[in-house]
Each structure stands twice: as C-alpha cells, then as structure tokens.
Amino acid sequence: MKTVLLIGTLDTKGREFAFVRNLIEARGHQVLLMNAGIFESTVQADIDAEGVAEAGGADLNELRSRQDRGQAIAVMQRGVAKLTRKLFDDKQIHGVLGLGGSGGTILATAGMRELPVGIPKLMVSTLASGDTAPYVDIKDITMMYSVVDIAGINRLSRQILANAAGMICGALEQPLPTGEDKPLIAATMFGVTTPCATKVRERLESHGYEILTFHATGTGGRAMEGLIADGYVKAVADITTTELADELVGGVLSAGARRLENAGQLGTPQVVSLGALDMVNFWAMDTVPEKFKTRNLYKHNENVTLMRTTVEENKELGRIIAEKLNKSKGKTTLVIPLQGVSMISAEGKPFYDAKADKALFDSLRQHSHSSIKIVEVDANINDDMFADVFVKEMLEVLS
C-alpha cells in the first residue's frame, strides 16, 4: 500500500478531488488531501489551507481579507512546495497527483518540482495542451490534458479523472526493473559534438560506468545540474558547454547563470571541455534579432540558426568558465581541443575562426587557477585523439 498526495484548490474542486480519492483508495492505496485554496475546503482536507499558508509565510485570515489573488497564489505556492518536500522526506508520500486550471496547476506542480526524479508526478490540467515548460521545468512531471474544466463530474470528466487515478496507481504499483547498478557519469552533447560524446560514452561504458547523456539545449543542462545537486552522479563529463554562450550573448538555449557550478560546489569530479562554444542558437532565420543579422549565421535546419561567437565573446566565455571552475572543491580538469570546438569550426568549415578560438583558449589560460588541470589536445573535439585524452582524464579524476 502506497500513499498519494492530492494537491489542489479544495475550496472550489472538492467534489472532483473526493471522486479521485475514492478511486485511489478502492485500489488499496492511501490518500492525503492538501487544500491549496485559501477558502474553506468543501471536503475534509488532511492538510488544510491554514497550514499551507503558514508554511508559505503568511496568515490565512490576512490573505482572505486582502483578496489579492496574485499574493495568495505566491504564498500558497511556497507553502505547497515546502510541505510536499517535507512529506516526502518524512516518507509519508510515494506519489503526487494534481487537478486544476491555471491556479491549481501552478500550485500543484510547485510541490512536484520539489521531488526527486523517479517519484510519480501527474498533473491533470486545462493548460496541458499548451506550453508546459513553466510547470514541468526539469522534473519528470506528466501533464495530462483535462479536455474540459475541472468543474463537476460528468460523462467526460468522470472518464478522464478515472484514467488519472489509474495512472498514478499504476505508477506506484509498477515494480522497479532490476539491473546492475553501475556508477553514473553525466555527460553533455550537441549535434555538432555527437561523435565525441558517442566515443566517450562507449569507452567509459567499457570501463564499467553508466552514462547519462544530456542534450545541451538549455533544459538539458539544467536537468543535469539538478541531478548533480541531488547526488545522482559520481562524476561529470561536461563535453559540451555551449549553453554558456547562449546565456552570455542572448541565445534561445541558455541553461541559466548557474550552469557549470553544481559539480564544483559539491566536489563532484569533473572533466570539462568547450564543445560548441563557437555558436549561439536561435530558432528559424527570421527570428534572429536585427542586431545580429550581419553576423556569421549558419542555417542548421529550417528551425535552428547558429551564430558564430566573436573574439570578444570568447574572451568573456573563457573568463566565465575559468571563474566557475576555480571554485571547484573536487578534482577538475579542463581539456582544450586546439583544432576546433565543434564539427563546423574545424579548418575549412563555416565557423572556422582561429582568432576567436585563440581568444577563448588564451582567456582560459589567463584566468584559471593552478588548481585546475589544463590539458591541450592538438585535435578537433570530434577526433579520436581528443576522445582518447578526454577518457584518460575522466578515469584519472575517477580514480
């Protein structure tokens, strides 16, 4: 028997939550009901609105008297996040299910994002057919479109809510697949560094490691940083740090200002390279900002446009990377591919720019502390020689 946490605004959707609760309990599981609405629940809540508001740092009566929806949601969102994490840490819940419209989705997913990857998280939402990135972020939250509003039990909503109850119960009842638990290494790749990432993965696997590969598209980098922070990985093979270029210049695939920091702060061993720092990413060619129209642009495909980074941008990228690595508490090695950081920056390719590459490499040498081991390889990042050196350095930091 497992326990499901149901999160929602029980002041307006109590009947719907009671319906789902009864279905889950009929499967032999327990339910905790959390009221994230600021008014009285229409069903008995196990965690009432007053407790959620208090956890969010406010008095419920004051929230009610102010009648400020924005403030109320912000407070209850903090409360939901704090209480959900505490319930999980105290081993009182095993999965989370939310039902709601815009407010209910914001509130319930705030709690879900506090939980580790692998814990069942299902959100039945009127917003699930649109842009769900703000709700899912980098966690394994399943968004299920409610089709109709969560407002009453009718022929259609009855089936959808029953499906949701079955899904969360099925996730809880599914036995974990057995297999050999090998040490995990997080790695990063991009289309223009795929040959390198593939070789590194295959060679590390042959040494008994399991590789989690993240596509460096912004969300990929943030997902990796989150798993590092949660203690999932033994080491990091950060081959492709391109998201830092998007963060600096204003591309569409930034992973945020904290990229390339968690491993160092936690002392997790890491080997870092400069994959795809020759480029900043935009969507289709007509989406490139006007100020960049005269730059060296490359049409990767119909939906993605790449822009070559400049000498000045590379100087700054070198400084940023060095300063992040200088704070590392664990073994850290930087491997520099002297003949290009992507498959299109090699000599004769569209992004070949020896001066820009030199600016990046010189800046890294200038700003890196002596505690950072720097290894220079006279090869392109996708050459076999580079992969050989990178794997050698990975095995050394892992030893």
Residue 94 identity (one-letter amino acid): H
Span 3-173: which CATH code? 3.40.50.12020
How do strand 30-35 and strand 3-8 relate by DSSP bridges? parallel
Span 184-398: which CATH code? 3.40.50.12030
DSSP string, 318-342: HHHHHHHHHT-SS-EEEEEETT-SS
Q: For residues 283 and 235, give the distance between their C-alpha atoms in angstroms, rounded to a whole number.
A: 32
- What's the pLDDT score for residue 325? 98
Q: Which two tokens stand for residue 68?
A: 């400020």
Contact criterion met (CB below 8 Å) for 156 and 148: yes
Q: Which residues of the chain have pLDDT under 50?
A: none
DSSP string, 284-301: SGGGS-GGGTTS-EEE-S
- What's the pLDDT score for residue 179? 76
- What's the pLDDT score for residue 178? 78
Span(s) in the chain for CATH 3.40.50.12020 = 3-173
DSSP-based helix, strand, coil % in the chain, nearest 5: 45, 15, 40
Q: For residues 204 and 208, give the distance between their C-alpha atoms in angstroms, rounded to a whole number.
A: 7
SS (H, E, C) 75-115: HHHHHHHHHHHHHHHCCCCCEEEEEECHHHHHHHHHHHCCC
pTM over 0.85: yes
Those residues with Cβ within 8 angstroms of residue 312's Cβ, 6 or more apart along the chain or in another chain: 359
* Strand ranges inside the chain, DSSP E: 3-8, 30-35, 95-100, 121-125, 142-145, 184-189, 210-215, 235-238, 270-272, 279-282, 297-299, 305-308, 332-337, 373-377
- What's the pLDDT score for residue 196? 98
Span(s) in the chain for CATH 3.40.50.12030 = 184-398
- What's the pLDDT score for residue 254? 98
pLDDT in tens, 370-394: 999 999 999 999 999 999 999 999 9
Residue 80 identity (one-letter amino acid): V
- What's the pLDDT score for residue 40? 86
- What's the pLDDT score for residue 176? 83
